[in-house]
Chain A
């Protein structure tokens, strides 16, 4: 799984694309490398998901045969490994105690949101200062989602990572101005992509608000997204560091490529899962991974630390999205601020669906026609809820979080590092 692209079975054309080939850190497969062999000894964060694991074990025997079926047709390097990992997991995850998270919660418990907040005061005011625009309406549209009601999940991880790296490097207790700019830019890039996604998906509501495209129309909404992106890009240039520019520009490219991946669906079931994970990395994790990497570069000259920051962000980011995909099935619309089963309605088969499809092969046809026939969405939803797709996806998210935890633990202890450790749990247990 070591070389670029192989881990996710992506891109035969990797050689054509210089940018991708030279990308540091991106080469690792999206699957935690150590999944298979570390399960027995190191697997402790699993307590939260014990019931899910049990559920997984129950169906384990059945699944072995299904997994073999998968293996037989696999054309992808990563997928057999994925399957292997699962096979092993099913045999090792039965009796587990909650030792690890106890130590965190008892002594070094840090609420990541509380700790990150002090650096995020005035975050939205500062973002608005970057949006220098002369027309009142365009300004209003651009500021629409910077209303202080978002989770600011990304900026929070970024400032915590900045402090953790600074302390690791030279015990510095301050966040640099440039590192804070990265947090601001990350939120801006994220928001710009949300505005465009909502046009692409023809979405009506987000975070409990009517979407920009619904209020002002698609044409203006797309321009507003473009404007936020250009403002982020100006702020990025002003940091004055060409490496940081390269790292964060990669995010913009990944976001678009992720959106393209979402447009197509793979017929081959094995490719389908790799495709899904690659999409998840590009659409969600790349931003977190590369922003973490950017602040680590600004805070510490050691490339090992940059890799730790990147791997942490990547793994947490994928886990975050996996849970997001789970919540689309388990949460109610009020909690989420957007309609549920939204992904199915858009024709997208996410983790829970792909797992459910292993149990109910009749879902294949629905996936291929992107749930376009009347009743498809509801039937697929029922299949997912009857299957252990939700548990399996959650369990997978947990594996990524575990990998993130392993990475971040390599840094010197600090309240911020511990908050990032705690965050790996928060990601799994959030309900909205």
Chain B
């Protein structure tokens, strides 16, 4: 709903003030590089084509939902909320700005670089599946080329920045998060509905595993790594991991729920058949009844009447179950925060949870 979106924006901009300057920008070093200006030049050539990279690039510059760099922001906030550890040496503390170590700021950037790299790599097009309406083949090939290269460029920058942190545990954590992300996106891709609009019968527990990989692992492991960089103990590391994990799960559930929240039916009704409310609806309804509903919503030529399907889902219990699940993860995130001393950074992290668990 519009109020939810504006509420989220407000929470984010308040939180940005707490971490000092908006350092969750992708690193300036990266922005000033020859390669990035080269990419910008090349992306311009794609204007007028249908390559998805154009939309991704547009989203990086302007993101109406204010989800841009949310991950970096959370890493900075949790770093500040944890503060310096007791075991950390004093000499270690003078590179702290606004209560955040410079290594933690780098980590926030790295997290954003990785997230962005995969936004770009997600948008690769399968050349063999193109139809004539997709435009010229060579445009799509060119778009792919630039997408592979620019994603690789962002990842390579993440790798070198990661190496500069001089902490092997952090390198291992973040590298494994990249692996998780790949596997998660891979699932996302293979779950994409086939022509007959039938999705795999995955069930909510599988959905949760896959969404953890594609949406939560990076943030969870980055939060943990931020604690490791400040030499916090294993317990705090785990709490930071839990916050990152559950906060991003409820964030995902919240966004999956938007098309099903009251008063929104006039807006775009397109929703993913793999979104949480649909998966839950299917699970509660039973596979056969679900297939029947899909068939009923299908027009001639297999075109899906999403409005009709949406009404059917709204009439079931999938939506309320998804809201419950969203609250469950929100509560788990809040519980994890209790291990951190009260501070404005901690409040900001709490507010983010409140923002993504609000549905009125």
Task: Output the nearest chain B residue to A264 by Cβ-Cβ distance.
Answer: B38
Kindly state whether residue B289 has any CB partner on chain A within 8 Å: no
- A231 to B179 Cα, complex, angstroms: 7
CB–CB A19/B171 < 8 A: no
- A188 to B169 Cα, complex, angstroms: 21
Annotate B146-181 by CB proximity to A: 1 below 8 A, 0 otherwise: 011101110111011011101111011001101100
The minimal Cβ–Cβ distance linking A100 to chain B, given in whole angstroms, is 40
The minimal Cβ–Cβ distance linking A279 to chain B, given in whole angstroms, is 13
By a CB distance below 8 angstroms, the chain B residues around A222 are 121, 124, 147-148, 151
By a CB distance below 8 angstroms, the chain A residues around B42 are 263
- A307 to B131 Cα, complex, angstroms: 53
Task: Output the nearest chain A residue to B152 by Cβ-Cβ distance.
Answer: A256
CB–CB A245/B163 < 8 A: yes
- A256 to B39 Cα, complex, angstroms: 12
CB–CB A18/B29 < 8 A: yes
CB–CB A233/B159 < 8 A: yes
CB–CB B129/A240 < 8 A: no
CB–CB A220/B186 < 8 A: yes
Of the candidates B33, B121, B167, which one forms a contact with A223 in the assembled complex, judged by CB atoms under 8 Å apart?
B121
CB–CB B148/A223 < 8 A: no
Task: Output the nearest chain A residue to B126 by Cβ-Cβ distance.
Answer: A217
By a CB distance below 8 angstroms, the chain B residues around A226 are 118, 121, 151, 155, 178, 182
Chain A residues near B (Cβ < 8 Å): 11, 13, 16-19, 132-135, 137-138, 196, 199-200, 202, 217-220, 222-223, 226-227, 229-231, 233-234, 236-242, 245-246, 249-250, 252-253, 255-257, 259-260, 263-264
CB–CB B153/A260 < 8 A: yes
Beyond the given A17-B33, A245-B171, A256-B149, please list 17 additional residue pairs across the A-B interface where CB-CB is below 8 A. A135-B187, A138-B183, A199-B145, A217-B126, A218-B125, A220-B189, A223-B182, A230-B179, A233-B159, A234-B179, A236-B175, A242-B166, A252-B159, A255-B156, A256-B156, A257-B35, A260-B149
Contact A234:B183 (CB < 8 A) given known A245-B163, A256-B149: no
CB–CB B159/A218 < 8 A: no
Contact A253:B160 (CB < 8 A) given known A233-B171, A260-B35, A263-B149: yes
CB–CB A253/B157 < 8 A: yes
Annotate B1-39 by CB proximity to A: 1 below 8 A, 0 otherwise: 000000000000000000000000000010011110010
By a CB distance below 8 angstroms, the chain A residues around B187 are 135
By a CB distance below 8 angstroms, the chain A residues around B189 are 219-220, 223
By a CB distance below 8 angstroms, the chain B residues around A202 are 127, 141
The minimal Cβ–Cβ distance linking B187 to chain A, given in whole angstroms, is 7
Task: Output the nearest chain B residue to A233 by Cβ-Cβ distance.
Answer: B175
- A23 to B125 Cα, complex, angstroms: 37
Chain B residues near A (Cβ < 8 Å): 29, 32-35, 38, 42, 118, 121, 124-129, 141, 144-145, 147-149, 151-153, 155-157, 159-160, 162-164, 166-169, 171-172, 175-176, 178-179, 182-183, 185-187, 189-190
Task: Name the 8 nearest CB pairs between A and B, nearest first.
Answer: A237-B172, A233-B175, A217-B126, A249-B163, A230-B178, A237-B171, A230-B179, A256-B156
By a CB distance below 8 angstroms, the chain B residues around A11 are 34
By a CB distance below 8 angstroms, the chain A residues around B141 are 202
The minimal Cβ–Cβ distance linking B102 to chain A, given in whole angstroms, is 13
23 contacts between A and B (CB under 8 A): A18-B29, A135-B183, A196-B152, A199-B145, A199-B148, A200-B144, A200-B145, A217-B127, A218-B125, A222-B151, A223-B121, A226-B178, A233-B159, A233-B175, A237-B171, A237-B172, A242-B168, A250-B160, A252-B156, A256-B149, A256-B153, A260-B34, A260-B153
Of the candidates B144, B148, B157, B168, which one forms a contact with A240 in the assembled complex, judged by CB atoms under 8 Å apart?
B168
CB–CB B182/A227 < 8 A: yes
- A245 to B175 Cα, complex, angstroms: 12
By a CB distance below 8 angstroms, the chain A residues around B145 are 199-200
CB–CB B159/A249 < 8 A: yes
Task: Output the nearest chain A residue to B169 by Cβ-Cβ distance.
Answer: A237
By a CB distance below 8 angstroms, the chain A residues around B168 are 237-242, 245
- A241 to B38 Cα, complex, angstroms: 34
By a CB distance below 8 angstroms, the chain A residues around B121 are 222-223, 226
Contact A19:B164 (CB < 8 A) given known A220-B189, A237-B175: yes
By a CB distance below 8 angstroms, the chain B residues around A234 are 172, 175-176, 179
CB–CB B149/A200 < 8 A: yes
Contact A196:B176 (CB < 8 A) given known A17-B33, A138-B183, A242-B168: no
Task: Output the nearest chain B residue to A201 by Cβ-Cβ distance.
Answer: B145
- A17 to B156 Cα, complex, angstroms: 14
The minimal Cβ–Cβ distance linking A257 to chain B, given in whole angstroms, is 7
Task: Output the nearest chain B residue to A141 by Cβ-Cβ distance.
Answer: B186
The minimal Cβ–Cβ distance linking A371 to chain B, given in whole angstroms, is 15
Contact A256:B35 (CB < 8 A) given known A199-B124, A246-B163: yes
By a CB distance below 8 angstroms, the chain A residues around B29 are 16-18
- A254 to B236 Cα, complex, angstroms: 37
By a CB distance below 8 angstroms, the chain B residues around A196 are 148, 152
CB–CB A218/B144 < 8 A: yes
Task: Output the nearest chain B residue to A239 by Cβ-Cβ distance.
Answer: B168
By a CB distance below 8 angstroms, the chain A residues around B148 are 196, 199-200, 222
